[in-house]
Amino acid sequence: MLFISQLLNGLQLGSIYALVALGYSMVYGIIMLLNFAHGDIIMIGGYIALFSIASGVHPALAVVMAIVGCMLLAMLIEKAAYKPLRSAPRISLLITAIGVSMLLQNVAQLLFGAGARSFPSSSIINAQNLSFGGIQISITAIVTIIVTIISMLVLTFLVQKTKMGKAMRAVSEDLGAAQLMGINVNHVVSFTFAVGAALAGIGAILYCCRYPLVSPTMGSLLGLKAFVAAVLGGIGSIPGAMVGGLAIGLAEVLVTAVGLSAWTDGVVFAILIIVLTFRPTGFFGRSMMEKV
């Protein structure tokens, strides 16, 4: 009984991690950048949804605005901060990403205040928990899982079947050869950031429905855990990010269920250390070979 509700709980959390992890993995796959500002884009998405609902916008429209806002912000960050460094050493990109993350957090503090605000989650998903003979089933969890599955199906179609998806896979395999085949890498990179941010926007709404609080630093821990999920699945791999996200979510809930809730974050980062020590390529990662 308890097991089923905990399983659902874990899948809900894992789905959110997976959505966010996809953004890390896709961007890394294309330009080898660990985009540490990705988590803070979620925070901005949360604030956009919060303020639009508070100012009387229809919740469905608010969700769309949050997702589009995340996409535009990510594309702007890419153009302003990362594109000028395309040929710079990768460490410069990484440091820039950390800088962008700090900038977003502090600008949010300046504009919205340091305190957390409560998120009107009931206006987005408003339903009682179902109970079947003692099992409590959260509608929010069911909705989260279904939305995640749909998002991933759309993403898979986008990457596998469309022209842009093929260009993305080509660029992630060999940027130089892709350019020589006439692929405009700037478009592909912009598109990748936009898709990653759209998933982050969806993740932001779902996360706020589970933990209805929005604060300037809410993205940093969520982002870090999603990063661990991406590494666990094999960074750069899309199915890896999905599986890694679910695994981290389930692990966290499991740790809480056995009564060690103070240890959840510790366990997640222990997983990171173990993966990096024993299997740095994760579940599905490609081993890095020097290009001759």
Partner 1 sequence: MSKMVPVKQSYSIVPERDYHKSPILEAHHLGIDFGGLTAVDDFNIAIGRTEICGLIGPNGAGKTTVFNLLTKVYQPTRGTILLDGMDTSGFNTVKANQAGIARTFQNIRLFKNLTVLDNVLIGLHNDINCSIPKALLRTPSYWKAEKAAKTKALDLLSIFDMQDLANAEAGSLPYGAQRRLEIVRALATNPKLLLLDEPAAGMNPSETAELMENIRKIRDTFQIAIMLIEHDMNLVMGICEGIAVLSYGKIIAKGTPAEITSNPAVIEAYLGKKEG
Site string for partner 1, 84-103 (x = CB under 8 A): --------------------
Least distance in Å: CB of 11 to partner 1? 26
Task: Looking at 120-263, list the stretches that DSSP marks H as alpha helix, in order from N- to C-terminal side.
Answer: 139-161, 163-173, 175-180, 185-210, 218-233, 238-257
- Rule CB under 8 A: say whether 158 interacts with partner 1: yes
Stretch that binds partner 1, among 28-36, 145-153, 167-175, 210-218 (CB under 8 A): 167-175
Token output for 254:
């499991």
CB contact at 8 A, 10 and 39: no
Task: Name the residue nearer to partner 1 (CB basis): 185 or 224.
Answer: 185
Stretch that binds partner 1, among 31-39, 76-84, 90-98, 172-180 (CB under 8 A): 172-180
- Rule CB under 8 A: say whether 185 interacts with partner 1: yes
Least distance in Å: CB of 183 to partner 1? 6
Residues 6+ apart with CB under 8 A from 76: none
Among 107, 157, 261, 288, binds partner 1 (CB under 8 A): 157
Residues 6+ apart with CB under 8 A from 131: 137
Stretch that binds partner 1, among 22-30, 131-139, 181-189, 248-256 (CB under 8 A): 181-189
- Rule CB under 8 A: say whether 153 interacts with partner 1: no
- Rule CB under 8 A: say whether 198 interacts with partner 1: no
**Secondary structure of 70-88 in HEC code, one letter for each residue:** HHHHHHHHHHHHHHHHCCC
Task: Name the residue nearer to partner 1 (CB basis): 56 or 182.
Answer: 182
Helix (H/G/I), strand (E/B), else coil: 137 = strand
Among 32, 85, 135, 170, binds partner 1 (CB under 8 A): 170
Distance of alpha carbon 264 from alpha carbon 221, whole angstroms: 12
Task: Name the residue nearer to partner 1 (CB basis): 90 or 166.
Answer: 166
Residues 6+ apart with CB under 8 A from 206: 15, 16, 19, 143, 144, 147, 148
Among 107, 161, 221, 261, binds partner 1 (CB under 8 A): 161
Among 91, 180, 258, 262, binds partner 1 (CB under 8 A): 180
- Rule CB under 8 A: say whether 81 interacts with partner 1: no
Least distance in Å: CB of 132 to partner 1? 36
Would you mind telling me the total number of residues written for the chain in this entry?
292
Distance of alpha carbon 13 from alpha carbon 246, whole angstroms: 8
Stretch that binds partner 1, among 18-26, 85-93, 127-135, 177-185 (CB under 8 A): 177-185
Helix (H/G/I), strand (E/B), else coil: 281 = coil
H or E, element range at 213? strand 213-214
Name which of 181, 151, 153, 152 is nearest 166 in CA terms: 181
**What residues does 131 pair with on adjacent strands?**
136
Task: Name the residue nearer to partner 1 (CB basis): 17 or 191.
Answer: 191
- The residues that touch partner 1, with contacts defined as CB under 8 A, are 154, 157-158, 161-164, 166-167, 169-170, 173-174, 176-185, 191, 292
